[in-house]
Structure 1
Amino acid sequence: MYFDRGNFYDFTSLVRELDVPGEIYERKTYAFEFSTVEMPYETYNGVNVRLRYVLKVTINRGYAGSIIEYQDFVVRNYSPPPEINNSIKMEVGIEDCLHIEFEYNKSKYHLKDVIIGKIYFLLVRIKIKNMDLEIRRRESTGSGTNTHVETETLAKFELMDGAPVRGESIPIRLFLSPYELTPTHRNINNKFSVKYFLNLVLVDEEDRRYFKQQEITMYRLEEEAS
């Protein structure tokens, strides 16, 4: 936890003793196996938190300090496609000025998915200059008054350049594969969460910004299903 003075917390730990106390005079190789290790969380490297899996080798010496070596390894957890994946549809706007209806084809996306949708203008009485769709990642660490939140804009996709008219429909087709995304993480070991949002941004000719944010769920698709 970077914000927590770099403190780290173990969420799982298994130990194997590879040799009895004694002396080593030559090169030796030790076989080892961890056959029942639970690795419920993915490796994650964020702004304020890093989740690591490591192999740690310790040689305890009576006459001097211990020799300790670390080797990181990466864990990826795959998920099947969700049985229920509802579309997102919502009507938003400013009274008597702007009303739009937006629709995204799903609420849950795998990391290499494509976001398909549309924006439909029901009422336009302000001069819109452009419209963008952003992918935002929100990382929350800690809890209570010690909660730290970092929001990153990972992608910005221009949907429209110019003034729309009433009845106009703008298609959305955004490929996710070019971006460095991770699965959604919810309250991992009571330490952190990572959420993703689609942020629709409209800018008028006076550079006023209007936006609507909608949470989506990200998951890593099973390899055999990809």
Structure 2
Amino acid sequence: MRRTRIKICGLTRAEDVDQAVQFGADAVGLVFAAASPRQVNLQQPATLRERIPGLCSCVVLVIDQPAEQVKQIVQVVRPDMLQFHGAETAEECRQFGLPYIKALGLGGSTPVDPAGHPDALVLADSHAPGAAGGTGQTFDWNRVAGWARQRPLMLAGGLQPDNVEQAIRAVRPWAVDVSTGVEDGPGLKSAERMQAFMRAVQRADQSDP
């Protein structure tokens, strides 16, 4: 049976981190981008980071931030991975010496090519290129089904308990990433929706032929 990995992004409260880990998240994301309503600051991460066990990856999300600022965040938070949501080049992403996720926005009409980031775990999201994620909107999953056959792919963009099974069957991604779809409000996760999302992913995996 296949197993789709699950990342819960945009956590801002310690209790939400605890619940995400308890329910079986493979990774949790902390957002350090000022454009996001889910932004955390350098005073919060110690409380959040210490709750993430070794078997669950800590991912730090940034958007076109200066290298020195990213280095400071890495030093304080000690993430397992970085996630870049802006116009960062592969060279810019690699300079920090950590595995990284590169988000590509499928929300516009401009063709998007993942080949520019050969070392990245590519994340297909629904935001327009250059915009922040967390829109809560989906996109045409058929646009990236071919990507998932060529390389590990993380799928995001409007995923929620009611549609993630369909998304997994359509794309067969290596991982799914959710934020808005498991929230009561920006940065405020719902335990019930997180658990429902996890169960929906498991059902999709169990039904995989």
Higher relative contact order (CA 8 A, sep 6+): 2
Question: Counting helix residues as a fraction of each chain, which structure ranks higher?
Answer: 2
**Which has the higher Rg, Structure 1 or Structure 2?**
1
Question: Counting strand residues as a fraction of each chain, which structure ranks higher?
Answer: 1
Q: What TM-score, normalized to structure 2?
A: 0.19
Q: What TM-score, normalized to structure 1?
A: 0.18
